[in-house]
Amino acid sequence: MKRLKLGVLASGRGSNFQSIIDSVESGYLNVEIRLLITDNPNAFAIERAKKHGIEYLVITPGTFSSKDEYFKGIAMELKNREVGLVVLAGFMRIVRKPLIDAFSNKIMNIHPAILPSFPGLHGQKQANDYGVKISGCTVHFVDEGMDTGPIIIQAAVPVSEEDTEDTLSERILKYEHRIYPVAIKLFSEGRIEVAGRKVKIKGTVFNGEGIINPPLPG
C-alpha cells in the first residue's frame, strides 16, 4: 500500500510537529511528512523541517486577494504533492471552506482542552480560570466552525489547585504529543470512520476506565 502523505500546517514552535516527526523516525508512524506550510516566516517549526529534511513553504495571506483565495492556494500546494491528510499543529488561523472542501474529513486539529468545552484561543487558561478539575486535549476533524468538528481522540489531564496557565499547558502538552500520533496512525491504517458527528475507530475495545481527580481521601 502507498504510504500516506502528510501536510502539516503550523504557525509557531511546532512541538506537535516534532512529536509527529519523532513518531515517523521511530517507526511508530508509517507515513511520509511531505510538506510543512507555515504562515509565519519566523516559526520555529521551520527549523524543525530543515533539520529533518522536510520541504517547507512560507505562505502568507498578504499575497492573496482574499482569505478564500489564500486557502485555495494552500489546498493547491497540498494536492500537487498528493497529500492525503492535513495536520494542523498550532496553525493560528481559522481554516476556510476551499481547504475544508478539498480535504473533507481529511484535516485534523489538536486543541488543548476537552472539547466542546473551552474552544478557541487559550483553552488551558479558560479551563484553569473556570476551575475544572479535569481538562485535557482533543484531536478532531476540522469543519468550518471553531474547534467543532467530529472528535477522534481525547486525553484527560488533571488540574491542580496550584496550576497556572503555564503549568497546566505544560502538563497537557505532554498528552498532546502522545495522542496526535495515535490519531494519525489510526487514520493511516484506515481505521477511522466518520458517521455524522461521531467517529468510529475500528478494532478498539472500550474498557470503561475513568480517572478521579482530586484523588479520594484515604
Contact residues for ligand GRF, defined by CB under 6 A: 10, 12-16, 89-90, 110-112, 173, 176
Least Å from the CB of residue 125 to ligand GRF: 11
Q: Using an 8 Å Cβ cutoff, are 137 and 175 in contact?
A: yes
Choose between 19 and 188: whose C-beta lies nearer to ligand GRF. 19
Contact 178, 97 (CB under 8 A): no
CB atoms within 10 A of CB 101: 12
**Of 72 and 93, CB closest to ligand GRF:** 93
- In the sheet that holds 107-111, the strands lie side by side as 56-58, 31-38, 4-10, 85-88, 107-111, 134-141, 151-158
Nearer to ligand GRF, 39 or 176 (CB): 176
- In whole angstroms, how close is the CB of 205 to ligand GRF at the nearest point? 27
Give min distance, CB of 36 to ligand GRF, in A: 12
Least Cβ distance, residue 28 to ligand GRF (angstroms) = 18
Decide whether 90 or 98 has the Cβ nearer to ligand GRF. Answer: 90
Name the minimum Å distance from CB 188 to ligand GRF: 20
H runs (alpha helix) in the chain? 15-25, 44-51, 67-80, 97-102, 123-130, 165-188
**What residue number has its CB nearest to ligand GRF?**
90
Q: Which residues are catalytic?
A: 111
CA distance 8 to 23: 14
Residues 46, 36: contact at Cβ < 8 Å?
A: yes
**Cell 455524522 maps to which residue?**
196
- Name, in order, each residue with C-beta under 8 angstroms of 62's C-beta and a sequence gap of 6 or more: none
Question: In the beta sheet, which residues pair with residue 158?
Answer: 134
Please say which residue, 89 or 183, places its beta carbon nearer to ligand GRF.
89
